[in-house]
Amino acid sequence: MIRSIIVGLFVLTSIQLFGQKKILLCGEWVQFGYKAYNESNFKIIKEGFPIKKCQFKCDGTYWEDFLWKDKRKWTFNSDSTRIGFKFTEFMGKKIKDESPINSFETIIIKLTADTLVYGHDMIIKRTGYFGNDSTSGRDAWYFVKKK
């Protein structure tokens, strides 16, 4: 009995946290900075350089305008710490794919009412004349919510 109550409370808490994160994430975002996987400090994007603009809609749709324009479907993973995407349109061409989103590569680093920072874990493997090596790290993209 107590076990059922604890499981029930956990499920309700998870649903509430998912809803709160979704409400925070939904909206239009404009990029202002980045950090490359092999750097320790973030950099503000200088005037004249391309910036990413994107919008997460609460109905699970997403659009992005960066170096190209695309539309996607999005969802959280089970604990709402990562986001998975599936393209529905790329540079004006519709993409039909009814399979579920099962890859969640975008990691939410920080999410508040006005700030979004997400990243991707990177592993770069090199092979060459002098041997093999690899480098790893996490890139990060910094956004502010458009008012």
Of residues 84 and 16, more confidence is placed in 84
pLDDT of residue 8: 37
Model confidence at 7: pLDDT above 90: no
User: Tell me, what's the pLDDT at 80?
Assistant: 95
Give the domain range for residue 75: 2-145
CATH number of the domain within which 70 lies: 2.40.128
The reported pLDDT for the residue numbered 3 is 53
% of the chain beyond a pLDDT of 70: 84
pLDDT of residue 10: 41
Identify which of 76, 64, 71 has the alpha carbon closest to the alpha carbon of residue 88.
71
- Helix (H), strand (E) at residue 106: strand 106-111
How far apart, in Å, are the Cα atoms of 68 and each of 54, 84, 93, 101?
A: 11, 19, 12, 22
- Rounded to whole angstroms, the Cα distance separating 1 from 22 reads 32
Pairing assessment for the beta strands 106-111 and 93-94 based on DSSP bridges: unpaired
The per-residue pLDDT for range 80-126, each reduced to its tens digit, is: 999 999 999 998 999 988 888 988 999 999 999 999 999 998 777 77
Give the pLDDT mean for 58-81. 95
Report the number of distinct structural domains present in the chain. 1
Longest dimension (CA), the chain: 65
pLDDT 10s digits, 39-65: 889 899 998 889 999 999 999 999 999
Q: pLDDT value at position 38? A: 83
Instruction: Select the more confidently predicted residue: 132 or 92.
Output: 92
